[in-house]
Structure formats: structure tokens, C-alpha cells
Chain A
Amino acid sequence: MTETWALAALWLGLALVATLFSIWLRIATALSEIVVGTVAQLFIGASIGAALLQTDASWIKFLSGTGAIVLTFLAGAELDPAVFRVKWKEASAVGLVGFSAPFLGCAALAYYVLHWNLQASWLAGVALSTTSVAVVYAVMLEFGLNKTDYGKTVLAACFINDLVTVLALGLLFAPFTFKTLLFVVGSVAAFAVLPWLTPRFFKRYGGRPSELEAKYLLFCLFGLGALAGWSGSEAVLPAYVIGMVLAGTVGKDHALIRRLRTLTFGLLTPFYFIRAGSLVSVPALVGAPMVFLILLAGKMAAKFVGVYPVTKLYKSPPKEAMYTTMLMSTGLTFGTISSLYGLSHGIIDQTEYSFLVAAVIGSAVVPTLIANAFFLPRHLLPRDPEIPAGPALAPQASESKP
């Protein structure tokens, strides 16, 4: 076991470094972990040997895969069922447009401009069609729009967008055999039973130090994940839907969600994101930077086409509309999950994977930087500080030492 402990220490050491960078730079830890994984593989690979990180060790793949599944479950559990019930019609329309514009646009770009094969192009479309519910939620809170019709519709639309993304990932590349049918039937039955069974089961046996709730949820996620994998689909598909159907019950149990987050962020997702980063080939990116830029520009342009008109339809002021549109272009979790699925199933090669992950990272960084630099609604900052204010207007500033 000595080698395993040493390897685990190396991975968690990298996770620790990534977390420190995320604190210093005020960026998401996931982003930092991907970049640290890429840089570590590059330098460790060049100086000591590419095999040192052992990204294909079975236990690392297990922890990494579990990280993706639990993270996806938590993303699904963020759904607010009350909002969704009220706004599902509008949200479905907006979410479908928010998905299909980048999906079709980026797939076409990959196929016709980059000359990727058809399967790889569809995967590029899926990986670049995602959005991030919590990021948009934070924006809505910032503007106080979360309680408005517009805010509720956009938030529910983000869920539809991501749901269609995981459906596309889970079903687009499935072989559609008898196994697929069994998977669909089994999943639908589980999705129908779980919202009824789970709260009753937790009420009777939960709330003890034995953490029955976590074991039960992991059992469901692994069970349906195994069924998905067996049928040739993807385990994150049932995980996201389980999260959604349990959002009204498990999702409301903040203490349980917090404990799951501790498990997820403390152990699982570092393995997932560092592994995702370590599989990126920097030489491939440096060799053809235009490919990355084309994919990134494609995603941003397609999201703009899909989302901006909707914000205008709701008469959102121009800068707020643009800010929302920009931040709906982020989507690191599902983007990397889709890319890694493509790589591990031989749909894309490592070079295409590298371009996709770089574009996904770029889609988290570039729109946010542009949004913050140019489109942050300045109504919160009403005065130009450069204009010298007269005595009546000048704020009185004083410093006091109690």
C-alpha cells in the first residue's frame, strides 16, 4: 500500500496547492484544479516521467468518476421545484434555445471548419452547450432578480439547458439496444419511486451518526450509474435527474447537502478535476491555438444568439442582459464531464479533448472577465469618482480610531 498512500498524498498535495491558488486569486477551485492538473502533468511528465501521476490507476478513476457523479447530483439538487412548476413552459423554451444554439453551432463548427468526424463534432456540441445554474443564480441574487418573473425563468431555463445536455450526452452516443430500453425503463421507474420513498425512508431511519442518508444516496447513484454504464450510456445522466427529483426533499436538507459537499470537495472532485486537467496535452494546444479560439468564439457567439434575445424579450436593461448572457456561457462541470466521456469512450482523441477542455475553461474565464470589465451594471455605482464633487455633493470621509 505504500505506493498508493504516496500517490494519494501527491494528488491531495496538488489539490491543496490548487485550493490555495483559488483562495489567493478568488477563482473557483474546480478551475484551479484543472489548471494545476495540466501544469503538474506537463512538468512532472517532462522532469520525472509521465506515469508518475498514474491517471489510469483504477482507484483514481473510481474517485474521479464518483466525483463527477456526486457533483452532478448536487447540481441537479439545486433545482427549486416551486419556481420550476410555475415557469416550466417558458423555461423549457428558453432552455432548449440556450442548449440547441451552441450545440448545433459548435457541432457545425467542429465538423465543417475543423473537419472533426461526425461523432466528435456532436460531442463538441454537447460539451460546449452547457451553462451553470449557480453562477447565474448568484447574478440574479446580485441584481435582486431572483424573485422576478425574468429571474425565475432564466434560472429554470438553466436547469432545462443542463438537463438536455446530460440527456444528449447519455443518449446521443448510446447504442440503442435492448439494454438501452432496460436502462430507460429502470431509470424512469426509479425517478418515479425515489421522491416518494426517500423522505419516508430518511424520516424513519435517518438523522443518526451512521450517515444512512449518504450511503442511501450513493447506493442509488452507483446503482443507476452501473445500469447506465451497462447500457452504454453515461452515469451522470441518472445522477442529474436523481438530483432534480430529490431537490424538493433531499435538496432542502441543508445539513445533508453540506455533508455531501464536504465529501465531494474534500476528496472526490480534486481527483476528478486534476485528472481532467492532467489529460490535456499542452503541446497540442500550443501547436494549434486557433482551434481552441474557434471553439471558444463559437460557444460564446452561439450562446449570445440563443440567450440575449430572451433577456431582451423580458425587457432586461442592455447591460444586465449582456451580463446575464455572458455568465450563462460558463459551464465547467458539464463541459469537462462531456469531454472526459468522449475521451474515455474513444469518441474524441487526446488532441480534440485538449481543445475542448481548453475551450470549456476559456468559456468559464473569458465571458466572466468581459462581463465584469464591461457589462457589470453600473447602476450600483451611481457617480463618476473622477468628477470633482462640490461641497454639497462631496461625501464626507473620515477615519476614526475608537
Chain B
Amino acid sequence: MTSKILLAYDGSEPADKAYGFALDMAKHYGAKLLVLAVARPPDLPEDVETEAILENAEAHYQELFALMRKRAEVQGLSPDFRVVVGHPAEQIIYHAEKEGVDHIVLGHRGKSFFERWRLGSVSKQVINYAHCAVTVVR
């Protein structure tokens, strides 16, 4: 029985598809849906710029959340939307455990070789470490 779903959202097209999937799933199981976006500071950060990046990310996600909220309301759902700060995979896993989530949904991002080498794959890390079921939507 799935009672709480976490959607990891980054504003990309695959994440939008994953959101549609998560909405269907939440409706089907009557589950609560938590939409989590992670604002990531630069790996080598600097003062004012880091503050700017975090604020910018928060504002960007809040705009997207407003549209997503309307989309959910059409289906009679009211997800919980949150922006947190940190490394995406760690934050997704941390919040999934903390919130007692039993299913994580995230979109598959086709990264370049360079990005994979630098950042690794978030979905791979989440699958490796998550305490619950994980669905990667393509």
C-alpha cells in the first residue's frame, strides 16, 4: 500500500513527466504527495553569489509550483510543495526517510558525459541509497 509519495522535481521536462506520473499514482492509491525541489549551491561557492543562487532558485521553483498546484487541483489533489538546499540525492533520501515516504518518483535526465563525470547521476544515487521503492520516469 502506497500512502506517501515523494516527487523529486528539478523543473526539467522529464521532471514534469514524472509529476504527471506521481499525480496519477497519488490519485490511484489515495496517497499524499510531497513535491521536493533542491536548490544546489555551487560546489565551490562564493559569498553574495551563493545567496543570489539560493534566492533565485526559491523564486524559480515557487513560480513553477503555482502552475503545478493548479494542475493537481484539476485532479482533486493538493500536494505539499517544498524547496530545500543541498546536494540533490542526499536531500531527496533524507526527506524521504524523515517524512516516512514509501515511494520516490523522479525524472530521468539525459546528462552529457561531462555532467555525469562531474555530478554523477542523481537517480542512480537515489536508487542505491533509498529506503523505499523508487520509480525513474523516462
Residues of A within 8 A of B (CB): 22, 24-31, 71, 74-75, 78, 132-135, 137-138, 141-142, 254, 258, 261, 264-265, 327, 330-333, 364-365, 368-369, 372, 376, 379-383, 385, 395-402
Contacts and interface: CB of A to CB of B under 8 A. Distances in A.
A138 B43 contact: no
A74 B89 CA distance: 31
Contacts of B119: 26
A141 B50 CA distance: 12
B48 A78 contact: yes
A258 B54 CA distance: 12
B13 interface: no
Given A25-B118, A75-B47, A75-B48, 9 more contacts: A29-B46, A30-B49, A264-B48, A332-B46, A364-B46, A380-B86, A397-B134, A398-B136, A399-B135
Interface stretch (B29-37, B63-71, B72-80, B123-131): B123-131
Nearest to B138: A401
A24 B114 CA distance: 8
A265 B52 contact: yes
Contact of A142 (B47, B85, B93, B138): B85
A400 B114 contact: no
B54 A380 contact: no
Contacts of A376: 87, 90
A41 B24 CA distance: 57
A31 B46 CA distance: 8
B37 to A, nearest CB: 13
6 contacts: A71-B48, A75-B47, A327-B45, A376-B90, A380-B87, A395-B132
Contacts of B51: 74, 78, 133-134, 137
B138 A396 contact: no
Which one of A142, A327, A330, A383 has the greatest number of beta carbons of chain B within 10 Å?
A: A142
B129 A385 contact: yes
A381 B46 contact: no
- The B interface, classified by DSSP as helix, strand, loop or mixed, is helix
Interface residues of B, number: 46
Nearest to B42: A28
Contacts of A381: 89-90, 93, 125, 129
Nearest to B105: A400
A132 B137 CA distance: 39
A345 to B, nearest CB: 23
A107 B136 CA distance: 54
A22 B43 CA distance: 10
A258 B55 CA distance: 9
The interface centre, meaning the residue of B44, B54, B86, B136 with most chain A CB atoms within 10 A of its CB, is: B44
Contact of B131 (A25, A331, A383): A383
B41 A135 contact: yes
User: Which 5 A-B pairs have CB atoms at the shortest separation, nearest pair first?
Assistant: A28-B46, A385-B128, A142-B86, A380-B90, A396-B133
B97 interface: yes
A138 B51 CA distance: 8
A219 to B, nearest CB: 21
B45 A368 contact: yes
A372 to B, nearest CB: 7
A157 to B, nearest CB: 15
A138 B47 contact: no
B53 to A, nearest CB: 9
Given A399-B138, A402-B17, A27 B47 contact: no
